[in-house]
């Protein structure tokens, strides 16, 4: 008798330890919504645990079993959607990324409740266009499993429609999501190395001119200034955020001063300072134009064109300034240009 009881005990252990899964069938679950602007090209399960949907109690003994879809969650959902909707590959291809999909079952007095929570990202061409969360539940009698399929179908339908609504507001006539551009412009004020950043409160000094003198030049001094322009970007949710960095600088290592002008420092500094002021003025003009630019198509070309045009205008004004003042030698013209630049600088407020 003792041997028989031991055999029965071991058999019960073996049965209770056997891994079981209850497969939720979606074949007869309706899916009414048809996406108008995209089709589901792929579904990727990115959950930490992809082994099941969750657990529930089943059978007369209320045994805890795992819940899953046939062939797993990602393939099961893909087959379900594909069986209800014929994909139109002329539309935008979208990938579903399942970040969370968990079903929990709880029991009440003569009832059972199933709660489904999901978090799904939708991407196209590698860019996330939407991230949606869903929470729903179903209450039934002693067996809620029959309602779980409908709960999953409702979750899918909610997501499909929400993505379509998003694309309706963010799609081009070419059938691709728009690349909305958010542009910010930062003008640096910190000097780096031999590049002296422009400052309204810090004028040039004789010692800033540290470059090697050009003995073949008749000029008393030469200012080498320019505008450093660079942009970077990040894409997220169909929006590209561009950050433009500008620096109006005076290059000390290339700007030079002839020693023969030791007795005319004030006049020469006033002339050279205005060259730097012109560079600063066009930095503000460039910043304003970049803020108003449309970067949604071919940002690199648009950026470079705006920078080049502004640089052409800046160089033209620098040349005009030297020509009219004869490099600062005509005092009256120099005074007129100082007044002119004071007026222009008053119209910009970026520095």
pLDDT in tens, 227-278: 999 888 776 656 788 889 999 999 999 999 987 666 789 999 999 999 999 9
Q: Are 159 and 133 in contact (CB under 8 A)?
A: no
Fold of the CATH domain 19-169: Rossmann fold (3.40.50)
Per-residue confidence band for 8, with pLDDT thresholds at 50, 70 and 90: very low
Neighbours of 113 (CB within 10 A): 15
Mean pLDDT of the chain: 85
pLDDT for position 7: 38
pLDDT for position 147: 80
Q: Are 280 and 249 in contact (CB under 8 A)?
A: no
- Please state the domain extents for the chain: 19-169, 180-346
Q: Between vectors from CA 121 to CA 68 and to CA 239, what angle results, nearest 5°?
A: 175
Q: List Cα–Cα distances, 350 to 151, 189, 200, in angstroms.
A: 56, 11, 11
Q: Are 25 and 77 in contact (CB under 8 A)?
A: no
Is it the case that residue 67 has pLDDT exceeding 50? yes
Which residue has tokens 């529930």? 56
Both structure tokens of 349: 């407020």
Q: List Cα–Cα distances, 308 to 15, 49, 165, 229, in angstroms.
A: 77, 53, 40, 10
Q: How far apart are CA 116 and CA 1, in angstroms?
A: 49
pLDDT for position 205: 95
Q: How far apart are CA 75 and CA 81, in angstroms?
A: 10
**Residue (of 60, 56, 62, 82) closest to 71 by Cα position:** 82
Handedness of CA 259, 264, 266, 269 (dihedral sign): negative
- Which of the residue ranges 139-153, 208-222, 323-337 would you say has the lowest mean pLDDT? 139-153
Which range scores top for mean pLDDT: 131-140, 182-191, 296-305? 182-191
Both structure tokens of 124: 């196209």
How much of the chain, in percent, has pLDDT values that exceed 70? Answer: 85
Both structure tokens of 343: 């007026």
Q: Between vectors from CA 55 to CA 50 and to CA 61, what angle results, nearest 5°?
A: 150
pLDDT for position 63: 80
CA Rg value for the chain? 35
Per-residue confidence band for 78, with pLDDT thresholds at 50, 70 and 90: very high
Q: What is the pTM of this model?
A: 0.53
Across 69-73, average pLDDT: 92
How does strand 92-108 pair with strand 111-124? antiparallel
Is it the case that residue 6 has pLDDT exceeding 70? no
Handedness of CA 96, 97, 99, 105 (dihedral sign): positive
Is it the case that residue 287 has pLDDT exceeding 90? yes
Q: Is 262 helix (H, G, I), strand (E, B) or coil?
A: helix
Is it the case that residue 40 has pLDDT exceeding 50? yes
Q: How far apart are CA 93 and CA 24, in angstroms?
A: 27
Is it the case that residue 17 has pLDDT exceeding 50? no
Per-residue confidence band for 13, with pLDDT thresholds at 50, 70 and 90: very low
pLDDT for position 239: 74
Per-residue confidence band for 349, with pLDDT thresholds at 50, 70 and 90: confident
User: Which residues, 6 or more positions from 9, have their beta carbon under 8 angstroms from its beta carbon?
Assistant: none
């Amino acid at each position: 008798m003792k041997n028989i009881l031991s055999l029965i005990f071991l058999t019960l252990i073996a049965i209770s330890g056997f891994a079981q899964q209850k497969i939720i069938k979606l074949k007869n679950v309706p899916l009414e919504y048809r996406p108008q602007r995209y089709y589901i090209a792929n579904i990727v399960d990115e959950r930490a645990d992809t082994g099941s949907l969750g657990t529930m109690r089943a059978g007369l003994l209320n045994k805890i079993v795992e819940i899953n879809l046939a062939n797993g969650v990602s393939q099961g959902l893909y087959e379900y959607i594909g069986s209800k909707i014929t994909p139109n590959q002329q539309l935008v291809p979208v990938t579903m990324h399942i970040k969370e999909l968990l079903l929990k079952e709880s029991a009440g007095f003569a009832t059972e409740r199933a709660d489904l929570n999901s978090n799904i990202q939708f991407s196209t061409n590698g860019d996330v266009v939407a991230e949606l969360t869903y929470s729903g539940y179903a209450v039934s009698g002693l067996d809620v499993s029959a309602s779980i399929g409908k709960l999953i179908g409702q979750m899918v339908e909610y997501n499909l429609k929400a993505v379509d609504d998003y694309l309706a507001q963010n799609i081009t006539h070419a059938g691709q999501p728009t690349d909305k551009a958010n542009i910010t412009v930062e003008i640096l004020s910190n000097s780096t190395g031999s590049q002296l950043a422009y400052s309204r409160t810090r004028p040039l000094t004789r010692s800033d001119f540290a470059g090697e003198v050009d003995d073949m030049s008749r000029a008393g001094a030469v200012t080498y200034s320019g505008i450093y322009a660079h942009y970077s970007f990040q894409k997220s949710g169909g929006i590209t955020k561009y950050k433009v960095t500008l620096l109006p600088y005076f290059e000390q290592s290339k700007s030079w001063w002839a020693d023969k002008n030791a007795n005319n420092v004030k006049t020469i500094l006033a002339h050279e300072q205005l060259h730097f002021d012109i560079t600063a003025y066009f930095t503000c003009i460039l910043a304003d134009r970049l803020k108003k630019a449309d970067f949604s198509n071919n940002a690199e070309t648009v950026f470079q064109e705006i920078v080049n045009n502004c640089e052409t205008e800046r160089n033209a004004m620098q040349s005009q300034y030297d020509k009219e003042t004869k490099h600062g030698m005509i005092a009256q013209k120099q005074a007129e240009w100082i007044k002119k630049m004071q007026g222009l600088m008053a119209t910009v407020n970026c520095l």
